[in-house]
Structure 1
Amino acid sequence: MAKVKIDKTNAMRALDQLKLEYEALSYPCTGDEVLGGIEVAELIGESASVVFKTLVTHSDNKDFVVAVIPSDEHLSLKKLAKISGHKKIEMIPVAKIEALTGYIRGGCSPIKMKKIFPTFISDKAKYLPYIIISAGKRGAQIKIAPENLQKAIHYQFADISDVEEVEV
């Protein structure tokens, strides 16, 4: 499949400024089309277990917490609440994503959000040579080693996801 030209995003510029190694990846995407992480993985020829999704939550006392998990898993709100020191965590409404992070749904990167939020990345990432995250817009991804991502954003590895049970 032919790669689409990728314009630099704020996330990529932040990595360039820090002189961190990464690879920009692209996939075809039209207009307001929002693809799930598993679909993105198929389009870029990678396993869904290395393509991570960025999810933004808020706590019972209105603190915001970011979770980055494999696209083939589900966020455990209970685990995220516990590790982040909150009683309860919920997903933020989709309509608030852009105002809060500067990114749109389907293009939310953990790098260079409007504000710095506590960020937790699935502990499965620490065993991978690279993970793939959104570059900050639909159709663009960043392939990066977890240790390089750690230099760009402060995060903590944590057990925050659950594997989806598939009925046979």
Structure 2
Amino acid sequence: MTPAIKALEKARITFEIRQYEHDDSSTSYGEEAARVLELSPAQVFKTLLAKLDDGRLAVAIVPVSGQLDLKALARAAGTRKASMANPDEAQRATGYVLGGISPLGQKKRLPTFIDSSAQSQDTIHVSAGRRGLEVSLSPADLAGLLSARYAALSRT
């Protein structure tokens, strides 16, 4: 059981675990999850960490069908600039490995932003804390549990 699943159980959130055999040669983890689990890429969200120009890290949750707009994330976080966090720093801050970073159960509570497209979905899928392990839940439950804010973060 991962810290993400423990956090959901502790909060008594309704969720479903989806597991698949991860292909070690794949580096596009979210797209792999959508393809293998036969899900719409608009429903599968990747968890990305960015470094804000004030030195803080922030979490951005965006659909795998798009790319993170770093300027939009910076605006949402109230800073001028954002850049992708160093992979080692992201792993240290979250306690997860790349490709398995979940927005849930992270070691440090970080400012979290969810792409506003999630609000049009009944359920979304995010990493459950391990490559090949996804969890589906309502975007509202995810936002509430993380104290996250919605913002237009994704560009296609």
For 1:39 and 1:46, the matched residues in 2 are separated by 10
> Is 1:74 aligned to 2:67, yes or no?
yes
2:152 corresponds to: 159
CA RMSD of aligned residues (A): 1.4
Percent identity for Structure 1 against Structure 2: 33
Structure 2 residue aligned with 1:91: 84
AA aligned opposite 2:117: K
* Distance across 1 between alignment mates of 2:92 and 2:26: 19
Does residue 47 of structure 1 match 2:47?
Answer: no
> For the residues of structure 1 that align with 2:10 and 2:27, how far apart are their CA atoms?
29
Equivalent residue pairs, number: 156
Deviation of 1:67 (Å): 0.3
Q: What letter is aligned with 2:151?
A: A
Structure 2 vs 1, CA of residues 50 and 34 (structure 1 numbering), >3 Å: closer, same or farther?
same
SS in structure 1 at match of 2:60:
strand
Cα drift, residue 35 of structure 1: 3.6
Normalised by the size of structure 1, how large is the TM-score? Answer: 0.88
- In structure 1, runs of 5+ residues without a counterpart are 1-7, 164-168
1:145 equivalenced with 2:138 (yes/no): yes
Range that drifts further, 116-125 or 24-33: 24-33
Partner of 1:141, secondary structure, is strand
Whether contact under 8 Å (2:29, 2:131) holds in the other structure is no
Cα shift readout 1:50-93 (whole Å, capped 9, x = no counterpart) = 00000000111211111000001000001111111111100011
**Quick check: which has more Rg, 1 or 2?**
1
Question: What amino acid sits opposite 2:147 in the alignment?
Answer: H
Counterpart Cα distance in 1 of 2:137 and 2:129? 14
What amino acid maps onto 1:93 in structure 2? Answer: N
Give the match for residue 109 of structure 1: 102
Q: Deviations over 1:109-142 (max 9, x none)?
A: 1111111111000001011100000001111000
Distance 1:30 1:41, change over 3 A: closer
